[in-house]
Amino acid sequence: MTETAEKIRDHFDLFHQPEYSEMMDNKREKFENYVGEAEVARVSDWTKTKEYQDKNFAREALVINPAKACQPLGAVFAAVGFEKTLPFVHGSQGCVAYYRSHFTRHFKEPTSCVSSSMTEDAAVFGGLNNMIDGLANAYSLYKPKMIAVSTTCMAEVIGDDLNAFIKNAKEKGSVPTDFDVTYAHTPAFVGSHITGYDNVMKGVVEHFWDGKSGTAPKLERQPNESINFLGGFDGYTVGNLREIKRIFDSFGIDYTIFGDNSDVWDTPADGEFRMYDGGTTLEEAANAIHAKATISMQEFCTEKTLATIADHGQEVVAFNHPVGITGTDRFLQAISRITGKQIPEALTKERGRLVDAIADSAAHIHGKKFAIYGDPDLCYGLAEFILELGGEPTHILATNGNKTWEAKVQALLDSSPFGKGCKVYAGKDLWHLRSLLFTEPVDFMIGNTYGKYLERDTGTPLIRIGFPIFDRHHHHRAPVWGYQGSLNVLVKILDKIFDEMDKATNVAGKTDLSFDIIR
Amino acid sequence: MSTAVAESPADIKERNKALIAEVLEAYPDKSAKRRAKHLNTYEAEKAECSVKSNIKSIPGVMTIRGCAYAGSKGVVWGPIKDMVHISHGPVGCGQYSWGSRRNYYKGVTGIDSFGTMQFTSDFQEKDIVFGGDKKLGKIIDEIQELFPLSKGISVQSECPIGLIGDDIEAVSKAKSKQYDGKPIIPVRCEGFRGVSQSLGHHIANDVIRDWVFDKAAEKTAGFQSTPYDVAIIGDYNIGGDAWASRILLEEMGLRVIAQWSGDGTIAELENTPKAKLNILHCYRSMNYITRHMEEKFGIPWVEYNFFGPSKIEASLREIASKFDDKIKEGAERVIAKYKPRMEAVIAKYRPRLEGKKVMLYVGGLRPRHVIGAYEDLGMEVVGTGYEFGHNDDYQRTTHYVKDGTLIYDDVTGYEFEKFVEKVQPDLVGSGVKEKYIFQKMGVPFRQMHSWDYSGPYHGYDGFGIFARDMDIAINAPVWKLTKAPWS
């Protein structure tokens, strides 16, 4: 019997029952034109060779299992960080269904976003009417305080002019003339999701600071003591932004989290659905012009935004997703320098605790080799931490990394004896990494959920840090920034190391000589 | 939890009417008029649901629909496991649809199977400006070199392809010739085509007709037919659905020569014109090719429903009725074999689920097909609608729904929330985008696209899992905790 009412078997074990195995084997033999197990094994072995790697790395056109998404995804991420702001994506509607699903699978939270639902006629005549009707509908139904318009590749290819369209829609009464509609062109065929984040943030800055597309006077900067903070595209935004606020609060400084989506992706289940929650208020977004400085946690995510902010006379400071002691030290020292406030004793003590934890555990990490992949800044931050722990970040790969990033990470590697022999790969994908994991194996791999395919194929244990994480729950709620966040990262790494040790030593009477109760 | 007391159909219809009027008030006039046509209450005995469907979504309303690419790559072509499907255009579409549909397959991924991989041409600005045909040619060469066991390649067009005037057909033809007739299949499923996923299904079906069947005749000449050959059409093997269906068909004496397209192969597609009967589960996404095979090859087809023992039993008999007594007896044998187990499942779960009200909003066939399975458990579907159904889907729905059922086509986020808030069902079955909205409202939810990472739900083996999962959702202790004792 495959299944009874008492013991319900689902896909996990149902299909491993003999009647199903037999059925599938029979299907393969008779109907699939199957090449046979020997041939599959031969080719499988060949893909593990240096010869295959060379062919794989010779690829010029095909991209396989990339570790990046497209601009509009980052656009939506940025837009939901503002108070009661509805992201409005101008172009084909299917894209929006994809962004919403993608974020929802990561955060296990709803993601609200609308599309202008352009179809063939809009491809011919342009999407102006979609903008006019779309803004009117979105405004009536979802009562936003602001709409942040971005684009899909369809609207970009046909060349729709967002600024003109929005003006036109306002003239037609879709939304009130003084209603805030920001815009950013976010073509999917340029950059990646981190570029989309950057473009939307830049669009918001320009909207509020530079006179709302000619409909209001430009703001005049009157410098104050506040600082602005940009998190960048970050899968841990919920935990991280709360940790950053705690750090800023402990300094006792005025600050603005520019694009705070930590609440909208973490709403309570109490009987009410909050389509909007928290977020940077529009007033704060405008007043951010007066800040003394803007700190970005992710340089490669915020290049244009920082340049725009710098043009308005602010100091801008960018980090590369700092994780660990040195990275966090730099971050705190920068805050201290900019604000003139001393680093609080409480944070110094947290630092000491992290050093203590590292001292307790580093022996298990020392000399271990790691492959790291993900967004450029995340890779940098994690690599720096691994070096600090005495590990070797052997392969560091960012599909959306560029030459500048590659050079920067190389300089980091060159700065440490543990970086010797480690290599940086900009623009490569996870199929490239697959080859590397066969020819130059490592002990562990750090990256997003898609790495589980590499773990299956190569046996390299995956430590899940990155975006998206679809197959583990709630990781995004805990920070990976600050000393506390770094401690979380340390524990994640150690847990995997110890789990693997146990797995390798748990066969009774055979491998369990080292099955120690104390590690 | 439902607080509604038993209401008469007349009361329910009155409430639905008021509810529809209320949601329409939130729209600007022009949009309210358009949306009004998509919302209604089913009146018993009518041959239709009296809603308009398969019409453009209105902009700015948070439609739940996807696009033609999703319908072709995500639904029809993606599951063909021994082919490489190129998401042709920018990186996003392939990335967001990578591995998320759970169409299970057996094979060694990256070697002889490619289902959970993301192959993209990752278009850059220069490809938009200068065209991507050269790049496509190179990509096909690289696939040929790195994945020698791939049996074919499909080119799944994303939005820009049709806008920049690329000739993917010419590239595909030339490359197929270069690689000894290997199937290289261009699909014009750009996301802006049509109004939903639906046109993508249709385009994908047409491409199989034009690019697979026409070239397959020679290859399948040696195929040894039997009088009992059938093809499963429109089962995507979500969580193993097609396997849990195939096993029953084989048990009753039929020979399944092809699965479309869950755990499918190009060889199976090519062999399908040899079938004696096509059996069609997802009518919406594959009726086109089934009708074509009827016209061109004279293959009859029959729709079936493998959700819940009542519908499975009826379907097994309906399928068997197209064959001789051996198969008819086989069907009865299968029905009898599983009956005690089905009764045990119902005995276990019906007391826990009896009388619970369900609202559905899904795609394809499920807004109607799963109703029988809920009813087998004593549950009642009080509202249903299709993301991308057509009029013929709504006609078929009349055979399933009760008097007074709320019907909503291409529902918007706003409408769906209001409907659930007022109707207060005990369970909502819809997609991942909707799941957490309703859970926050305190309403139990199951994803009815992906089976919420469970499954299979098809067949007798699937029904126990379905019953268990609905129980898990509805009777989870968490729903009693949503209100703080002091609030």
CB contact under 8 A, B28 and A137: yes
Q: Which of B35, B38, B49, B70 is catalytic?
A: B70
Task: Using CB atoms, pick whichever of A59, A110, A134 lies closest to residue B142.
Answer: A59
Q: Going residue by residue through chain B, which has 487 residues, state the pLDDT in tens, using 9 for 90 and above.
A: 444 555 899 999 999 999 999 999 999 999 999 999 999 999 998 888 999 999 999 999 999 999 999 999 999 999 999 999 999 999 999 999 999 999 999 999 999 999 999 999 999 999 999 999 999 999 999 999 999 999 999 999 999 999 999 999 999 999 999 999 999 999 999 999 999 999 999 999 999 999 999 888 888 888 999 999 999 999 999 999 999 999 999 999 999 999 999 999 999 999 999 999 999 999 999 999 999 999 999 999 999 999 999 999 999 999 999 999 999 999 999 999 999 999 999 999 999 999 999 999 999 999 999 999 999 999 999 999 999 999 999 999 999 999 999 999 999 999 999 999 999 999 999 999 999 999 999 999 999 999 999 999 999 999 999 999 999 999 999 999 999 999 8
- As a whole-number percent, the residues of chain A with pLDDT over 90 amount to 99
| Disruptive mutation site among A39, A93, A150 for chain B (greatest number of B CBs within 10 Å) | A93
- Of B128, B139, B159, which to mutate for an interface test with A (greatest number of A Cβ within 10 Å)? B159
The H or E element spanning position B406 is strand B406-408
CA distance A275 to chain B (A): 8
Burial code of A265-279, b = ≥16 C-beta within 10 A, e = fewer? Answer: bbbebeeebebbbbb
Residue type at position B473: A
Contacts of B192 in chain A (CB under 8 A): 91-92, 118-120, 122-123, 154
pLDDT at residue A7, rounded to an integer = 87
Please answer yes or no on whether B59 and A47 come within 8 Å at the CB atom: no
d(CA B283, CA B281): 6
Among chain B residues, CA nearest to A67: B95
Inter-CA distances, A339 with A160, A227, A241, A290, A312, Å = 43, 8, 19, 14, 19
Handedness of CA A395, A397, A403, A404 (dihedral sign): negative
CB-based burial label for A349 (10 Å; 0-12, 13-18, 19+):
exposed
CA distance A127 to chain B (A): 10
> Chain A closest CA to B124's CA: distance in Å?
5
Nearest to B367 by CA among B350, B356, B382: B382
Does the beta carbon of A55 lie under 8 angstroms from any beta carbon of chain B? yes
How many other C-beta atoms lie within 10 A of the C-beta of residue B367? 31
Name the 3-class secondary structure at A394.
strand
| CA dist., res. B94 & res. B121, Å (int) | 10
- The 10 Å Cβ neighbour count of residue B340 is 11
In chain B, residues with a C-beta closer than 8 Å to the C-beta of A105 are: 100, 432
Of B60, B194, B197, the CB nearest to A135: B60
| A5–B345 C-beta distance less than 8 A | yes
A114 a catalytic residue: no
The residue of chain B with its CA nearest to that of A470 is B100
Would you call A55 and B438 a contact, using CB atoms and an 8 Å cutoff? Answer: no
pLDDT at A6 (0 to 100): 82
Q: What integer pLDDT is reported at residue B2 of this predicted model?
A: 47
Minimum distance, in Å, between the CA of residue A351 and any CA atom of chain B: 37
Contacts of A452 in chain B (CB under 8 A): none
- Read off the pLDDT of residues A246-277 as tens digits, 9 standing for 90 and up: 999 999 999 999 999 999 999 999 999 999 99
Instruction: Answer whether B67 sits within 8 Å of A2, measured CB to CB.
Output: no
Kindly tell me if the per-residue pLDDT of A407 is higher than 70. Answer: yes
- Structure confidence by residue, pLDDT tens digits, B94-120: 999 999 999 999 999 999 999 999 999
Name which of B297, B102, B319 is nearest B232 in CA terms.
B319
Nearest-CB residue to A269 (from B250, B431, B439): B439
Length, in residues, of chain B: 487
Sign of the CA dihedral running B100, B61, B91, A403: negative
CA distance B300 to chain A (A): 21
Which residue in chain A has the smallest CA separation from B151? Answer: A33
Average pLDDT, chain A: 97
DSSP B202-260: HHHHHHIIIIIIHHHTTTTTT----TTEEEEEEE--BTTHHHHHHHHHHHTT-EEEEEE
Q: Which residues of B438-450 are buried (b: 16+ CB within 10 A; e: fewer)?
A: bbbbbbbbbbbbb
The pLDDT value given to residue B6: 58
User: How many cross-chain Cβ pairs, A to B, lie less than 8 Å apart?
Assistant: 343
Region for A211 from its dihedrals, namely left if φ exceeds 0, alpha if ψ lies in -120 to 50, beta otherwise:
left
Nearest CA in chain A to B105: A24
- Using CA atoms, how far residue B216 sits from A31, A122, B470, B482, in Å, is 14, 38, 44, 58
Inter-chain residue contact B149 with A35, CB threshold 8 Å: yes
> Per-residue DSSP letters for A422-458?
-EEEES--HHHHHHHHHHS--SEEEE-TTHHHHHHHH
Both structure tokens of A376: 């450029």
* Residues contacting residue B85 through CB under 8 Å, at least 6 positions apart: B73, B77, B78, B114, B119, B153, B154, B156
Measured between CB atoms, which of B26, B108, B455 is closest to A11?
Answer: B455
Q: Which chain A residue's Cα is nearest to B432?
A: A101
- Catalytic residue, chosen from B49, B67, B242, B282, is B67
> How far is the C-alpha of B476 from the C-alpha of B352, rounded, in Å?
11
Q: Do the Cβ atoms of A24 and B243 come within 8 Å?
A: yes
Distance (Å) from the alpha carbon of A42 to chain B's nearest alpha carbon: 10
Comparing CA positions, the residue from A443, A379, A432, A387 lying closest to residue A406 is A379
Instruction: Establish how many alpha carbons lie within 13 A of residue B27's alpha carbon, considering only the half-sphere containing its beta carbon.
Output: 24
- Among B429, B257, B414, smallest CA distance to B360 is for B429
Instruction: Give contacts of B424 with chain A, Cβ < 8 Å.
Output: none
Cβ-nearest to B92 among A14, A69, A105: A69
Confirm if B83 and B59 have CB atoms less than 8 A apart: no
Q: What is the DSSP string of A208-275?
A: HHTTTTTTSPPPPP---S-EEEE--S-TTHHHHHHHHHHHHHHHT--EEESS--TTTTS---SS---S
- At residue B3, the pLDDT reads 47
> Please, what's the b/e burial string for A451-462 (b: 16 or more CB within 10 A of its CB; e: otherwise)?
bbbbbebbebbb
Q: What is the CA radius of gyration of chain B?
A: 23
Helix (H) or strand (E) run with residue A338 in it: helix A325-339
pLDDT tens-place string over residues A204-222: 999 999 999 999 999 999 9
- From the list B280, B318, B248, B230, the residue with the least C-alpha distance to B461 is B248
Four-point Cα dihedral A34, A37, A39, A45, nearest 10:
130
Determine whether the interchain pair A73/B92 forms a contact, defined as Cβ–Cβ distance below 8 Å.
yes
Taking the Cβ of residue A21 and every Cβ of chain B, the question of whether any pair is shorter than 8 Å is answered with no
| A444 beta partners | A370
Task: Show Cβ contacts of residue B8 under 8 Å, excluding neighbours closer than 6 positions.
Answer: none
Is the pLDDT at A3 greater than 80? The verdict is no
Question: B-contacting residues of A 405-464, CB under 8 Å?
Answer: 431, 434, 450, 453, 457
Tokens found for residue A275: 């389509």
- Which chain A residue has its CA at the smallest distance from B82's CA? A32
Confidence of residue A2 (pLDDT cuts 50, 70, 90): low
Give me A419's structure tokens.
């970086």
Give the gyration radius of chain A's Cα atoms. Answer: 25
Residues 188-227 of A with CB under 8 A from B: 188-190, 192
pLDDT tens digits along A452-468? 999 999 999 999 999 99
Contact assignment for A39 to B142 by CB distance below 8 Å: no
Q: How far is B247 from chain A (nearest CA, A)?
A: 7
Selected catalytic residue, list B35, B38, B88, B101: B101
**Beta-bridge partner residues of B427:** B358
Q: Taking CB atoms and an 8 Å cutoff, what residues of chain B touch A53? A: none
**E strand or H helix at A306, and its extent?**
helix A303-311
Is B204 an annotated catalytic residue?
A: no
Minimal C-alpha gap between B390 and chain A (Å): 18
Of chain B, the end-to-end C-alpha distance in Å amounts to 18
Q: How many residues does chain A have?
A: 519
Number of other residues whose CB lies within 10 A of the CB of residue B402:
14
